[in-house]
């Protein structure tokens, strides 16, 4: 299948590479030359522009940082002159960015008016899941469009959930990431408290993992250095899912909570703590570095 892939960052790059490895003809583009070079070294063809990438594409996939990037890509600045005008009618557009549901709905409406199919399909699973092809996709869109996308999504992920209509995938994602942010802060507090009392962090992590405090952050992505060899915490909090990206997603959750008058006090607190952590200079570090805020200083 001829696939255009726009956005080759920590998540998008491995996803595009997995599509290439599966035998698809992938034409990719990113504004960052280094990201293009990494994908190119793995065999992915790099186009000169996003417009060139979508030429002849049967499926267009985007993986971008935020709502304004997605809207700017597809609709252009000022609402015109975007990529939608360069995509052939009948093409399926899959946006896997984590953005506001309202933005997905706005882009989908414009795509459908241009004769294109559109689904929002944000992911969970982190960079490790992107590399391994085990991501979870949360899809918003019609049943027919999801089934059309399924053979492509299956090459990048192990779990595909139909959350509902356009925008529902984004809503499911912000709920998930709000909970993840809360769990990471709680895990950081518990690990730091135990270590401050002289407990071995690996032993403590295993005790809690097998007890009622067990959670994904504790078991798979421990924020304490040395507990998990391949976690960002053991690599100077480099790579992974950045603090500023978590802050963005927590912001989306709180914007949605305000709009729907939902009560999310822990989500609001998590956003405030991540904002303070970012302002302290940790925005580019993995979000598990939030443990630095609660660790006892030696």
User: So which residues are the catalytic ones?
Assistant: 173
Q: What phi and psi, each to the nearest 5 degrees, are found at residue 192?
A: -65, -40
Residue with tokens 């978590």: 246
Say if CB 12 and CB 26 are below 8 A apart.
Answer: no
Contact between 120 and 145 under an 8 Å Cβ cutoff? The reply is no
**How are beta strands 45-46 and 25-29 bridged, if at all?**
parallel
Distance of CA 228 to the CA centre of its chain: 22
- Backbone CA torsion sign across 158, 3, 68, 40: positive
CB 294 within 8 A of CB 280: no
End-to-end, the C-alpha distance of the chain in Å comes to 56
- Residue 260, CA distances (Å) to 156, 254, 264 in order: 33, 10, 11
What is the token pair recorded at 127? 């960079």
Q: What single-letter DSSP state applies at residue 290?
A: G
């Amino acid at each position: 299948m001829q696939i255009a892939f726009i956005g080759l960052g920590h998540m998008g790059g491995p996803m595009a590479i997995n599509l290439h490895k599966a035998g698809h003809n992938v034409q990719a583009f990113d504004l960052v030359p280094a990201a293009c070079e990494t994908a190119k070294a793995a065999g992915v063809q790099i186009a000169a522009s996003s417009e060139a990438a979508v030429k002849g594409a049967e499926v267009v996939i985007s993986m971008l940082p935020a709502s304004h990037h997605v809207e700017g890509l597809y609709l252009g600045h000022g609402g015109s002159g975007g990529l939608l005008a360069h995509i052939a009618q009948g093409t399926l557009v899959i946006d896997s960015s984590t953005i506001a549901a309202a933005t997905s709905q706005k882009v989908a409406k414009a795509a459908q008016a241009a004769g294109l199919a559109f689904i929002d399909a944000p992911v969970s699973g982190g960079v490790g899941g992107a590399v391994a092809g085990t991501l979870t996709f949360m899809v918003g869109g019609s049943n027919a469009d999801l089934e059309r996308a399924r053979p492509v999504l299956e090459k990048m992920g192990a779990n595909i959930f139909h959350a509902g209509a356009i925008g529902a995938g984004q809503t499911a994602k912000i709920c998930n990431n709000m909970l993840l942010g809360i769990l990471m802060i709680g895990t950081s507090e518990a690990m730091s408290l135990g270590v401050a009392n002289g407990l071995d962090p690996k032993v403590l992590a295993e005790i809690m993992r097998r007890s009622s405090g067990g959670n994904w952050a504790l078991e798979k992505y421990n924020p304490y250095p040395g507990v998990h060899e391949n976690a960002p915490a053991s690599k100077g909090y480099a790579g992974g899912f950045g603090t500023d990206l978590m802050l963005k997603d927590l912001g989306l959750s709180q914007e949605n909570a305000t709009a729907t008058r939902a009560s999310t006090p822990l989500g609001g607190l998590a956003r405030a703590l991540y904002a303070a952590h970012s302002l302290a200079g940790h925005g580019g570090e993995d979000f598990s570095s939030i443990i630095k805020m609660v660790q006892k200083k030696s």
